[in-house]
A and B are shown apart, each in its own frame.
Chain A
């Protein structure tokens, strides 16, 4: 029973010295995401989660389940840029922004419901989300893009 749970939930956290509003903008607006999210132009709104590559091709088009600025965002996840990943079941990504002391926020990203998407789980695990979150932190704290 627990074996399935274990493989299909991933949790990442990072402290960022920025306001919840700034973090919210950075995760919902394409002009920010293209600077830290593997150049993807991602638009998150109450209508859906849409991602485009630098050449304009559609990388993701999934529903938004919760949209509560600037605290909580839940959306579907399915990568369309790779046929192997696109053929898998959609999974789910939850972003939580919690204000802390000293002008910091704790950002938690939970990628779950990966039961029907083992290749996706492997492709985002570890380095995948880690680069996104460290890049996001660097962008917000220094204004510089970390990943070329």
Chain B
């Protein structure tokens, strides 16, 4: 719903690292996620909160544990909205260049 939040969430190496960890294996606990980071538990929680607010991480309770899941859908939507648009233009610009150069040489 809010592209700004997704861009902000992605604009931080720790948060990208957390997303990569979840990409490798989904459904991790906070304890598991903080294990590789030189950061306080509170710091990791804050980052996870930003990711959750952006919709990139979804949490589920499983008994006494809170598990974190990667939700890749917002990244896909940004891809559809931004990346596709510009790569298409890039490709068509190259195609136009090719046509122009070939016309010139003939």
Contacts and interface: CB of A to CB of B under 8 A. Distances in A.
Nearest to A126: B72
A13 B1 contact: no
Contact of B71 (A6, A11, A104): A11
Contact of B73 (A9, A13, A104): A13
B26 A10 contact: yes
11 contacts: A5-B67, A6-B67, A7-B25, A7-B26, A12-B71, A13-B55, A14-B77, A110-B60, A126-B23, A126-B72, A138-B80
B66 to A, nearest CB: 12
A27 interface: no
Nearest to B23: A126
A5 B62 CA distance: 9
Interface residues of A, number: 23
B1 A6 contact: no
Q: Is the interface of B mostly helix, strand, loop or mixed?
A: mixed
A115 to B, nearest CB: 13
A39 to B, nearest CB: 19
Contacts of B73: 12-14, 130, 133-134
A9 B69 contact: yes
Contact residue range for chain B?
A: 20 to 34
A6 B25 contact: yes
Interface in A82-110: 104, 108, 110
B58 A11 contact: yes
B36 interface: no
Interface string A116-141: 00000000001100110110011000
Interface string B15-38: 000000001011111000000000
